[in-house]
Amino acid sequence: MKIVAIQMKVALKQVEENYQRAEVWIRKAAAAGADVAVLPEIWSGGFITADLDERLADVDGHRAKAFLQRLAGELKINIVGGSVATKKGSQYFNTSYVADRQGHIIADYDKAHLFSFAGEDKRFSAGDQLVTFVLDGVPCGIIICYEIRFPEWSRKQALAGTKVLFVPAQWPLPRVGHWRVLNQARAIENQIFVVAVNGCGEAVKDQQNAGNSMMIDPLGKLLADAGADPEEKLIQGNIELAELDQTRNNMTVFKDRRTDLY
């Protein structure tokens, strides 16, 4: 499986510009031979909390779903749609949608762990479901940004059968060291592939996103790395499931777990 991560610059509150930019990059990913294209977190309007409203939130995800369905069906690729701000009834959510090659939405996930440090919990409601899905026969799962700090949530993904974990994010530059270490740790401890896709550009006023998008194998090795250059770019990596099986057969972490203790 060839995965192409889109490290995209997200323009704050500029929804039309962001949709146009996302389409350009998805088409570039398809031209590069992607089986799966992946967008970052909150790519449609940026990480807005205090002044989020209907202009920036997608009511029931209608626009985002139609956008992903159209491009996935036309280009015959799978798209992990990062996440967008959605409004469902009277509540707002940070929601990820996944479209398959046929242009069907096969998964949607509401971020379960909200970043209270930045006030995300004051404006958004938290999801309460673990979500997994299958792309081209490969069991996959998704968590969003801050959730990489919760090892229990990633472990539940691994125990549910996930072999490729997608982590769309808008992670800021001051904590880039945490971003890199945590994503590699989640890959190593769960013996899974991690595809961590961050935004770049201005995250909030006077603060930059870190870039540093990465693809990591079950041993923690970097298959692809955008590096410290926080500019828009594609990174590409090939997922070989035989590597995951070999890792788990060689080091039997899951067999050695003490489920009687924890």
Residues identified as active-site: 41, 111, 145
**Cα–Cα distance for residue pair 200/209, rounded to 1 Å:** 5
Query: Whats the size of the chain, residue-wise?
Result: 262
> Kind and range of the H or E element at 72?
helix 62-75
Rounded (10°) angle between helices 62-75 and 15-31: 20
129, 119 Cβ separation under 8 angstroms: no
> Kind and range of the H or E element at 79?
strand 78-80
**Cα–Cα distance for residue pair 7/170, rounded to 1 Å:** 10
212, 145 Cβ separation under 8 angstroms: no
**Cα–Cα distance for residue pair 169/10, rounded to 1 Å:** 11
CA 146 to each of CA 62, 150, 153, 194: distance values in angstroms, whole numbers, following the listed order = 25, 8, 11, 15
Residue 46 tokens read as 């940026």
**Cα–Cα distance for residue pair 218/37, rounded to 1 Å:** 20
